[in-house]
Structure 1
Amino acid sequence: MNRDVRVAVFRPDDERLASAVELLDSLGADPVADPMLEVRPTGDAPADGEYVILTSKTGVELAAESGWDPKGATVCAIGESTADALRDAGYDVDIVPDEYTSAGLVETLSGEVEGAEVEVARSDHGSAVLTDGLRDAEADVNETTLYRLVRPEGSGDSAALAAEGELDAALFTSSLTVAHFLDAADERGVREEAVEGLNDAVVGAIGDPTRETAESESIEVDVVPEVADFEQLACEVVEEAAPTHHE
């Protein structure tokens, strides 16, 4: 009897990791929970602006906890999960781009933000594609760091498993999860072996920016879902990995 597909998942150690493990269990996979991101709030709240952009559920939760009031601003969410979090927190959402990326939001807003004050509230690792693109559209951009993302102490068991050829799949949900995975492999002295192990496994990236980061580090990416959605990523990766291990 073949073992379940062993899948590494790198979400922060909160309800996101718990729900990811539950999802992978339901798909018949063997989850390897290895949080590569820890959220450290700065205590800052989004500044005022004619447009205010939130880029993550975490950012929304921290903004809401701070008592943030949009004061009539046009509220923009980079994707539906962020938009849902805003609505759940009692905020109206005015703009969600068709493409859930920084480039997609820039494309949606370009042409209407010239000369406007645009506030971008996000983590300390936000893509410059968003802020640079808005400035190119001649917006007056301010960026507020709501939280910092660090690698949790003790993370990296998945890197050791990959190096030993014991990982069947990996789910990268941001460029930073790729960087932190490789940092953990470096710490253990197994970076080259871990990359080789990933390249013998099925690697999923949640979107093109994450895929590009992985490929720039010689990690071959097998799955990028059409929509940047974790559930879709997990389902597609497990489906691709499963035939190797199930009759």
Structure 2
Amino acid sequence: MDSKLPLAGETVVFTSTKKSEEPFELVRQYGGEPVSLPLIRTSERLDDEDHLKMKRAQSYDWLIFTSQSAVAAFSAKLGRAGMTAADFSVYVAAVGYKTAAALGRLGFRVDFIPDIFSADVFVRQFSPAGESLRALFVKGNLAGSLITDELPLSVDEWTVYETEPETASAAGIVSLAQQGGPLSILFASPSAVRVFSDYAAPRIGWTGYTIGAIGHITERALTEAGAAADVMPDTYTLPELVRTLAESKGRN
């Protein structure tokens, strides 16, 4: 195999919502064919009290975001409330540089990002100074309770978006797998793993293709589903997952 094109002939399926062209372009640079088949879709959760909740958010010491989807829903609510980042005098924590960048585009300064982009590392590393601090965790409906339960400060939750399965995408992945040919399937969240496990794995199993996991939480979800991640990057981003996949294929 050409070491410069380690993904030649490979179809690489992204099971997360497309937020950037970068990982897709990387697949092409390595000779592969990227396919977007997101297994989950997100939509803003609307509430008659959104305006009031946004006003209350100003009273917290910290705002915590763990996904770009949470930032997008928060942004929509911020706009409808007629507010901007300038109306907030709070600290902001984000899990991941992409989430931090999305907050930056809204005008928020991000004060804390964990070394590894996962909730369990976040709660180990996040220890703000001060007594009786209050944080608001801006989240999706499927977010775990780790941040709320384990942080050393009072944490309230605001669920701003919903996550639903995309069964049509699962059927599309099944069709690709049944066509044969080199195939890699990349998972960026436990939610995507669960949808695949429910709707695709019963038809094609967990073998015959390469499985990529964006990080150890997603890897754990794969293990719990009876699968194993073949590749996982040290830095938990999709571009790094593609690079790790290419390196693995280049060694074969």
TM range (shorter): 0.7 to 0.9
The alpha-carbon deviation at position 243 of structure 1 amounts to: 5.4
Distance 1:223 1:114 in 2: 42
Distance 1:96 1:31 in 2: 29
Counterpart residue identity of residue 214, structure 2:
I
Q: Of 179, 186, 197, which residue of structure 2 is paired with 1:182?
A: 197
Change (3 A) 1:15 1:7: same
Aligned to 1:133: 150
Change (3 A) 1:90 1:111: closer
Q: How many equivalent pairs are there?
A: 232
Q: Of 49, 73, 79, which residue of structure 1 is paired with 2:90?
A: 73
What secondary structure, in the 3-state scheme, does the structure 1 residue paired with 2:98 have?
helix
What secondary structure, in the 3-state scheme, does the structure 2 residue paired with 1:60 have?
helix
Distance 1:133 1:114 in 2: 16
Change (3 A) 1:96 1:15: closer
Aligned to 2:118: 101
Q: Of 56, 59, 82, which residue of structure 1 is paired with 2:70?
A: 59
Counterpart residue identity of residue 222, structure 1:
D
Structure 1 spans left out of the alignment, 5+ residues: none
Counterpart residue identity of residue 175, structure 1:
P
- The answer to whether the 8 A contact 2:8-2:30 is kept is no
Aligned to 2:26: 23
- The answer to whether the 8 A contact 1:5-1:241 is kept is no
Distance 1:55 1:3 in 2: 34
Divergent runs of 4+, >2 A: 18-23, 43-48, 68-71, 108-115, 159-168, 241-244
TM-score normalised by L of structure 2: 0.81
TM-score normalised by L of structure 1: 0.83
- The answer to whether the 8 A contact 2:39-2:167 is kept is no
Aligned to 2:229: 221
The alpha-carbon deviation at position 167 of structure 1 amounts to: 4.8
Aligned to 1:235: 243
What's the % identity of the aligned pairs?
Answer: 25
Counterpart residue identity of residue 169, structure 1:
S
- The answer to whether the 8 A contact 1:76-1:94 is kept is yes
- The answer to whether the 8 A contact 1:162-1:195 is kept is no
The equivalences for 1:142-221 within 5 A come to: 142-156=156-170, 157-162=172-177, 165-185=180-200, 189-190=202-203, 193-197=204-208, 201-221=209-229
Per-residue displacement from partner, 1:170-206 (whole Å, max 9, x unpaired)? Answer: 11101111111122216xx51xx32133xxx321111
Aligned to 1:83: 100
- The answer to whether the 8 A contact 1:159-1:194 is kept is no
Structure 2 spans left out of the alignment, 5+ residues: 2-6
Distance 2:135 2:178 in 1: 45
The alpha-carbon deviation at position 3 of structure 1 amounts to: 6.0
The alpha-carbon deviation at position 166 of structure 1 amounts to: 4.0
Distance 1:146 1:39 in 2: 10
Counterpart residue identity of residue 234, structure 1:
V
